[in-house]
Structure 1
Amino acid sequence: MSYNFATQSCCMRFQLRWHQLRSGDTFFNLAQQFNTTVECLQRLNSWAVPTNLPVGCWIVVGVMSPTTSDCRNFQLTWHQVRSGDTFFGLAQMFGTTAECLAFWNSWANPNALPVGCWVVVGVSEMGPTTTPTTTPTTTPTATPQPCMRFQLRWHQLRSGDTFFNLAQQFNTTVECLQRLNSWAVPTNLPVGCWIVVGVMSPTTSDCRNFQLTWHQIRLGDTFFGLAQMFGTTAECLAFWNSWANPNSLPVGCWVVVGVSEMGPTT
């Protein structure tokens, strides 16, 4: 089964940042870890009971569009996974597409949705939250950075992962995984680090059309410093590496520091 992400430019404007819940997690410490607020976590994860977060399931810790990352401007619709649920069936139920569901829920294996956990089945963006003022002002229109045209889909490596089984899990090919993750040694994938399993732009999802530049994290690295080193911005690095905690980059793992799109392969 393969998804044609290139035709789904509408849902692709929303980039969701996820965290898999672990024992001891609370909204308070997660807010500190991901530079957000408890209020935002509660708003984005309306299904969650803060005193009983289900270990192993996933929550949204941030949403970005080309114009804003203010959690107050987004409305997420959730569904608790039941036995037999598929993205195709849920797409029909909630008036969306399987491609959009797979894109929003980038952590999920479409062939084995975890029963009892929750998936996002709708994302909408509302107008900006404003504070009334007695003095008329002109609010500049936010201009999306060019880097936000590229959406990267990530997977955290686990014991036993291989490019072959990951290609099957994420409906891609071993060749694409090798091309996108040029730093990786297929016979020695570092457990706990993250690899890219797909890249999309508004025009294509063909891995052959993308070139990723990688950097292995060293002690003391920050997105601000890396942005200066590689001629980009900290905002772009945070957007591309949506899995990463900017305050605690994992030494030895790899981050994307550049994305370019080439002409279509003929």
Structure 2
Amino acid sequence: MDKMMVTRGQRAFLCLLVILLLFSAQPLEAAPGAEGIIIHVVERGETLSVIASRYGTTVDAIVQANGIANPNLIYVGQRLTIPAQGTVAPEESYVVRLGDTLGGIAHRFGTTVSAIAQANDISNPSLIYPGQRLIIPPGVQQPSELPTPTQVHVVRPGEYLSQIARLYGTTVWALAVANDLANPSLIYPGQRLVIPTRSATLPFPISAVEFVPPRVAQGHTLLLRVRAEGEVSLAGSIDGQSLTFTGAGGEYWALAGFPPWSEPGAHPWSIVATDNQGRSVEASGYVLVTAAEFPIQYIDLPPEREGLLDPELVQAEWARVKALFVQVTPSKLWRGRSLVPVEGEVSSVFGTRRSYEGGPVASYHMGVDYAAPEGAPVVAANSGRIALAEELTVRGGTVIIDHGLGVHSGYFHLSGIAVVPGQEVERGTLIGYVGSTGLATGAHLHWEMRIGEIGVDPTEWTARAIPE
């Protein structure tokens, strides 16, 4: 009897397990309608490409399923049938092994370093460690050609730049400038070339999209200008970064930063314009990121400060300051060009690759260091509001200034602080004094600029007014 009872129990368990496995194998559908059909209700600011990406389908598939004549014209509250094959793309995870790099992991999963860094809240993609579990976002797929303001052409075997120029109605010179080609005769199969935007058509009411500079170097700031016919609200992203637009009367602009580890080449952008009737259109394309050179620096720390390199300590403090960097004050608080905040010689430039204690070159320097005497005055590089003024473990004496629109500046390793949170400061206001607190080997100021959480070269902000 006991043996028969165990056997029945085992059979019941196996049946239950099979049922669970069958149900768990079914794709999860959002907002199911009758007979399992997925219905999506359009929300403000959404476009068909955004909706298609969410459900793992294509714009064409949604257009055909709903009989849409113009994919650029959808409206808030519209009910869209999502083709049956659409599913929400699952996230994968990966446990870092000894010798792994973020670039190698990105290549393995068909995504990018920036995408993995953003998905895992990694401040410096060079600092990963064995045993760390990473969320792997879905692979990034970029079509070779898009009916958008910027096209990308993938070079085929035997093609010349002159042939490609004729194909798109442009010139060899325009292609060379747009793609930073030193020698127009040297292109190779598989190379992705940005096609200049002047021959493309923008959806109404967007009348112009301009990038300043037209191509941006790793570690630098990009200004995006948009003109529209009438008043619109704008949203968008570049390379996964959300854009904060400001402006009125049909003239708008936003800023984006590209970290030193941005992959050279074409990076996707997308802009959504919504009118006062709730109708949205989308323009999208690519911006070209060019390679920059970054030196290598070898640093030996005093024994008592070696513990400040602990990844958990570094990551915990980054989470604290990142929470400030991602806050967006809706108005622009800075004016004109920024000041260099201290008198002193540059001892380490932005983007420097660093090796600590003879280890691998495994980090980027996300600011500029100025060697100066202990106690030398440090001033605000530009006007804004004090977001943080306190002693941190790794950064030492720290002041962070909110300049509005998601732009912040940071001043680290201070020996003394002369401001308080919430205080409004002008360009040149005294904020603290040079020190060697935190992860430092001597008296200096570390100065950095952030657009959102992305660090950019602060000296660019002293060379030109942004926006110009």
- TM-score clears 0.5: no
Structure with more of its chain in helix, by fraction: 1
Radius of gyration: which is bigger?
A: 2
Structure with more of its chain in strand, by fraction: 2
Provide TM-score, normalisation by structure 1.
Answer: 0.30
Tell me: higher relative CO, structure 1 or 2? Use CA pairs within 8 A at least 6 residues apart.
Answer: 1
Provide TM-score, normalisation by structure 2.
Answer: 0.20
